[in-house]
Structure 1
Amino acid sequence: MELSNDQNSAIAKIYLNEGASLQELSLNNLTLIENLEPLAYSDVYASSLLFPFANRIRDGLYKFQGKTYQFPINESGNNNALHGLVFNKTFTVSNITESENSVIAVLEYTESNPPESFPFQYKIELKYTLTTTELSLKVSIKNLSDKTFPFTLGWHPYFITENLNASSLHFKSSKKMVFNERMITKGTKPVDQDGHFSLKEKQLDDCWELDATEVLFKTPGYTLLINSSEANSYLQAYTPPRKNTIAIEPTTGVSDSFNNKIGLKELHPKDTYSLTWRLQLNKNEAL
Structure 2
Amino acid sequence: MPLTPPTGQQFQITHSGAVATVTEVGAHLREYRVADRDVVVGFPADELPPASNGAVLVPWPNRIRDGRYTWDGVDYQVPVTEPARGTALHGLASWQRWVANEHTDDAVELGIDLPPTPGYPFPLSITVRYVLSATGLQITTTATNIGAADAPYGVGFHPWLSPGPGSLDDAVLQLDATRWIPTDDRLLPTGVADLPEELDFRAPRSLGRTALDDAFVGATYDDDGLSWLRLRGSDGRTAAVWMDRTMSCWQMCTGDEVAAVAAQRTGLAAEPMSCVADAFRTGDDLVRLSPGASHTVTWGITLD
Query: TM-score scaled to structure 2, two decimals?
Result: 0.84
1:110 and 2:113 aligned: yes
**CA contact under 8 A between 2:175 and 2:229: conserved in structure 1?**
yes
Query: In the alignment, which residue of structure 1 is the partner of 2:192?
Result: 188
Q: How many equivalent pairs are there?
A: 273
Q: Distance in 2 between matches of 1:242 and 1:143?
A: 42
1:111-260 equivalent positions in 2, closer than 5 A: 111=114, 113-132=115-134, 134-161=136-163, 162-191=166-195, 193=200, 194-209=202-217, 210-212=219-221, 213-221=227-235, 222-240=237-255, 241-243=262-264, 244-260=266-282
Query: In the alignment, which residue of structure 2 is the partner of 1:11?
Result: 19
- Secondary structure of the 1:138 match is strand
1:76-91 equivalent positions in 2, closer than 5 A: 76-91=83-98
1:267 and 2:282 aligned: no
1:42–1:171 CA distance, 2 compared to 1 (3 A)? closer
Q: Distance in 2 between matches of 1:77 and 1:265?
A: 28
1:6–1:166 CA distance, 2 compared to 1 (3 A)? closer
More strand by share: 1
- Secondary structure of the 1:44 match is coil
Query: In the alignment, which residue of structure 1 is the partner of 2:6?
Result: none
Query: In the alignment, which residue of structure 2 is the partner of 1:285?
Result: none
**CA contact under 8 A between 2:15 and 2:132: conserved in structure 1?**
no
Deviations 1:152-182 (A, max 9, x none): 1100011222231121221232210010111
Instruction: Please say which of residues 66-75 and 232-241 is displaced more in the overlay.
Output: 232-241
1:166–1:174 CA distance, 2 compared to 1 (3 A)? same
Share of identical aligned residues, percent? 24
Q: Distance in 2 between matches of 1:155 and 1:6?
A: 22
Q: Distance in 2 between matches of 1:27 and 1:42?
A: 21
Q: Which amino acid aligns with 1:158?
A: W
1:41–1:239 CA distance, 2 compared to 1 (3 A)? farther
CA deviation after TM superposition for structure 1 residue 230, in Å: 2.8
Q: Which amino acid aligns with 1:223?
A: T
Q: Distance in 2 between matches of 1:252 and 1:110?
A: 20
Q: Distance in 2 between matches of 1:42 and 1:71?
A: 22
**CA contact under 8 A between 1:27 and 1:133: conserved in structure 2?**
no
Return structure 1 stretches of 4+ with deviation > 3 angstroms.
Answer: 34-37, 40-43
CA deviation after TM superposition for structure 1 residue 28, in Å: 4.2
CA deviation after TM superposition for structure 1 residue 242, in Å: 4.4
**CA contact under 8 A between 2:61 and 2:277: conserved in structure 1?**
yes
- For structure 1, the 5+ residue unaligned runs are 283-287
Q: Which amino acid aligns with 2:272?
A: P
Query: TM-score scaled to structure 1, two decimals?
Result: 0.89
Q: Distance in 1 between matches of 2:174 and 2:242?
A: 12
